[in-house]
Amino acid sequence: MRIAIVHFHLQTGGVTRVIQHACAALAAAGHRVAVLCGEPPRQPEAFAARLAVIPALGYEERRAPLGPDALGAAMARAARRALGGAPDLWHIHNHCLGKNLALPGAVRGLAEAGQPLLLQLHDFAEDGRPALYRRMLEVLGGKDGAILATRIYPLAPHIHYATLNARDDRFLAAAGVPDAQRHRLPNAASFATEPLQPPRRETRVAPGGTHMDGERGAKTDRPSGDVTERHMDVNTGGQAGAEPAACGLDHRRWLYPCRAIRRKNLGELLFWATLADPEDRFATTQAPQNPLEQPIYARWVALAAELALPVDFALGARCGDFAALLASSHALISTSVGEGFGLAFLEPWLIDRPLAGRDLPEITADFAADGLDLGALYQRLPVPLEWLDAAALRQRMDAALAAATRAYGHARAREDLARAWAAAVDRRDPDRIDFGRLDEEAQIEVLRHLRTDPAARSALDTTTPPLMAEAERIAHNRAIVEREYMLDGYRRRLEAIYRALLAAPSAPVRDQADGQALIARFQAPERLFLLRT
């Protein structure tokens, strides 16, 4: 097969890593692959494919100003040159996210020309991306959601959609995408599978490094094949001005491999640090790069210093040996309140480390169905409402729901706030609320209360992250990941999807998915997490 893969860029990130895996798997199977992107990659040798840079494919704010038709023609020319002929199919990532306003039209043009298309959705503008959705609504839809849906969700037998998880697949089904045109394509996990050695002592810290988690596409980098980057120069937690922590250590390190953007719920990591035993320290690996995220991150760094919490920030950016950093961990931890796929739930087992932290059932249900044992994770972290200003919190939740109504143009029901509040509080004890549902203001209230009143911890269900680190559990989970989520399994799934797509007849594009149905599901009040607004 001749396959053309399309994305905005090939910089470090979750989607880039997915593309690297796809290129490696497809090339090993003898397929010809070309990757079209908007910016030159920093490591072109990391892709087992011909690369073509089309500046008009980049992000809207800095792309070359080509319209949809011209962009589509440029993509077709570049693919033919790179592949030695027209592609048999197109595999396009995140075309409807709103990052590039010409790409949806270019995709529709390819569809109307009868080109087989696999549209892989790692992220949805309808899911906590109101600014991107609003931009598409105004520019592409003329402020009409039905018109926008015709632009970004075309339907025809030769247009197939791939999602990362069963939740997104269900939502597309509810929006009217036929069963034969939907596929679940989970990402491949690829941490080194050799058992880690004990941490080296006195390891020097060097700039650079990568991290494990992200999402779904946005916003995350990983060590496998990705480039090393420098990040914000925020080096210490705990005592301000402390020496940067080294990769090796003589304490118990709970390592959160993530870029510390808002939905990663850094306040919950500090919650556990506030309750830490003397031998415990907590660490993140990367600071956020997005300027909009950095003030929030800096606030957490400052609070950790003020409260003298045992936390090391951006440790991966200062440790030159990522494997040594992983090896130094007592356990990996994740407190994220939102993921697209959830590699953070798979990859720890490949390096023989247990995982602690927050479960995300709508994501991990797929893993549990395959036999992964995540029973040590918690789904809620209840704290007493009396520790915070509950009335002010309800007002902020109401404002967040109102903002979503304005941004997405869906109907606001009178009971929406009651539904959101009921999902946040403890059903067995309505005087307690899930810490992960809080915003930064409320989380800081809780942390200050815990730090100033040592007796307050007696009101909590637990004071340490639950952890089951038995060798049998780790071996069991490792076997599941190796069987279901490694590169060979990914290749088999991908080739099966391609074969189904190529077997589908071409037909006129006369229908579209129901964009309002997607909004109704992604914006359901029960799914409100203030850290994702």
Model pLDDT, residue 210: 28
- The answer to whether residue 533 is domain-embedded is no
Q: pTM value?
A: 0.86
- The answer to whether residue 532 is domain-embedded is no
Same domain for 326 and 310? yes
Same domain for 342 and 212? yes
- The answer to whether residue 329 is domain-embedded is yes
Tokens in use for 306? Answer: 């003020």
- What is the rounded CA–CA span in Å between residue 388 and residue 386? 5
List, in order, residues 6 or more apart from 260 with CB less than 8 Å away. Answer: 266, 284, 286, 287, 288, 293, 297, 300, 313, 314
- The answer to whether residue 119 is domain-embedded is yes
Model pLDDT, residue 478: 96
* Chain Cα centroid distance, residue 346: 14
Same domain for 170 and 199? no
**3-class DSSP assignment, residue 303:** helix
CB 147, CB 170: distance < 8 Å = no
Domain total in the chain: 3
- The answer to whether residue 530 is domain-embedded is no
CATH number of domain containing 495: 3.40.50.2000
pLDDT: which is higher, 322 or 518: 518
Model pLDDT, residue 212: 31
- What is the rounded CA–CA span in Å between residue 441 and residue 395? 13
Helix 130-139 / helix 145-152 crossing angle, nearest 10 deg: 90
Same domain for 293 and 273? yes
Same domain for 195 and 281? yes
- What is the rounded CA–CA span in Å between residue 274 and residue 272? 5
Same domain for 112 and 136? yes
- The answer to whether residue 42 is domain-embedded is yes
Tokens in use for 157? Answer: 């037998």
In the numeric block, the tokens 């270019």 are attached to 106
Tokens in use for 105? Answer: 């039209």
Same domain for 152 and 264? no
- The answer to whether residue 529 is domain-embedded is no
Model confidence pLDDT, tens digit, residues 63-91: 999 999 999 999 999 999 999 999 999 99
Q: What is the dihedral of CA 123, 128, 133, 135, to 10 degrees?
A: -110
Model confidence pLDDT, tens digit, residues 284-310: 999 998 899 999 999 999 999 999 999
Residue-number span of the structural domain to which 327 is assigned: 189-378+472-485
Same domain for 264 and 325? yes
In angstroms, the Cα distances linking 396 to 50, 380, 420 are 49, 20, 12
Is a pLDDT exceeding 80 seen at residue 236? no
Same domain for 90 and 209? no
Same domain for 182 and 193? no
Is a pLDDT exceeding 90 seen at residue 160? yes
In the numeric block, the tokens 């409807």 are attached to 96
Same domain for 155 and 69? yes
- The answer to whether residue 328 is domain-embedded is yes
Same domain for 137 and 268? no
Model confidence pLDDT, tens digit, residues 313-338: 999 888 878 888 998 999 999 999 99
Model confidence pLDDT, tens digit, residues 457-508: 999 999 999 998 899 999 999 999 999 999 999 999 999 999 999 999 999 9
Question: How confident is the model over 210-214, as a mean pLDDT?
Answer: 30
Average pLDDT, the chain: 89
- What is the rounded CA–CA span in Å between residue 103 and residue 67? 9
